[in-house]
Structure formats: C-alpha cells, structure tokens
Copies of this chain bind each other. A is one copy, B any other.
C-alpha cells in the first residue's frame, strides 16, 4: 500500500471539518490511509500574520455565508457555532494522547468532537467537554488518566512539536492535505486531491 495521506486541521476550522467528513473515504477509493494531524491555527497565524476569516470585517459576512453554502454543496451537516472560532488546544492534546494508544480511537474522538462543535454547537474549548467526548468513545479510556495527561507537560510539548512540524512542512491554514509530498490547501482542493490520487500527478 502506498504511503498514507497527511491531513492537517484545526478543530475550530469549518473547512477542516468539511474535509474531515470526506478525506478517509476519498483516500480509501485509491487504497490509501490517512494520518490525522490536528494543529493550532493560532500558532501558524503568528508565522504568517494572518487573522481568522471572520475577524476581518469585509470577509466576515462572506465566509459565514460560504461556510454554510459549502456545507450544503458538500452535503455535510453544519450549524454555524455561536462561539467561533474558539481555542482548541485541549481537543488537539487529547487527540495525540489517544493517538499514541490507538489511532482509530483518536479518529473517532476527532470526528465526534468536530460534529459536537459544528453540528450541535457544543463548546469544545472546555477541557471537561473534551474529556466527556473522549470517554464516550470507548470504555477503555480512563477519564482520570486523560485529565492527568491534559494537566501535564508531555501532551503540551507534543502539540507544540506537531505545530512546529506543520509550519516546517509549509502548513499555513486548515485543512491542509499532503499526498506523498504534494500539498493541497482547502476543502475546495479535494477534487484536485482525488485527481492526484488517481493519476499520481497531473
């Protein structure tokens, strides 16, 4: 089997969420797997001087409209969260803690967290909420161990490393997909990702 795709996303990125609902099935059609890599857009924005799409007055109205329209276009359930964007470090740290134990479990946690935020409007910036979603995925997840991990230095350093690696790879937004070494930015690049997977390049 060819190398897995790498899928970078921030838990508060609508376009990252839309891509998350499609990327595994897309890759599977070409016998590929996907490594999910949450990162913090805020850390990347410090590198590029960028700001969240909805904090720029001329862009805010458009992107709120485009989020909802793109969700309908891609047939993904979506309700614009009232608190948007929000801090996602607890979700990203919990993801990597789970990922080291069981990548499939981490994936299930990520999908549940994204849907909780972008469908049900749950405030996923809260550590207690993140823990709740995590333990709901499997009886093997120990709530106290996760709480202790989230309070410790190790997962914080791990997320920092992942953000540094993302920046080193040229990631400047969410979602960002790598097929072998080819970079694709944006949920709207999934048709190009598909053609790349089909033709190896174009």
Contacting pair A188 B188 (CB below 8 A): yes
0/1 string, A35-77, CB within 8 A of B gives 1 = 0000000001001111100001011011001100110110000
Given A70-B192, A183-B65, A186-B188, decide whether A172 and B58 contact each other with a Cβ distance below 8 A.
yes
Contacting pair B69 A202 (CB below 8 A): yes
Given A186-B188, A202-B73, decide whether A58 and B62 contact each other with a Cβ distance below 8 A.
no
Contacting pair A172 B59 (CB below 8 A): yes
- CB contacts under 8 Å to B, within A150-202, are 167, 170, 172, 183, 185-186, 188-189, 191-192, 195, 202
The DSSP consensus for interface residues of chain A is helix
Nearest B residue to A47 via CB reads B58
Contacting pair B58 A167 (CB below 8 A): yes
Task: Provide the bound-state CA to CA distance between A170 and B56, in Å.
Answer: 12
Given the complex, which residues of B lie within 8 Å of A195, measured CB to CB?
Answer: 73
Given the complex, which residues of B lie within 8 Å of A167, measured CB to CB?
Answer: 58
Task: Provide the bound-state CA to CA distance between A51 and B49, in Å.
Answer: 10
State which of B49, B73, B185, B192 has its C-beta within 8 Å of the C-beta of A62: B185
Given the complex, which residues of B lie within 8 Å of A70, measured CB to CB?
Answer: 192
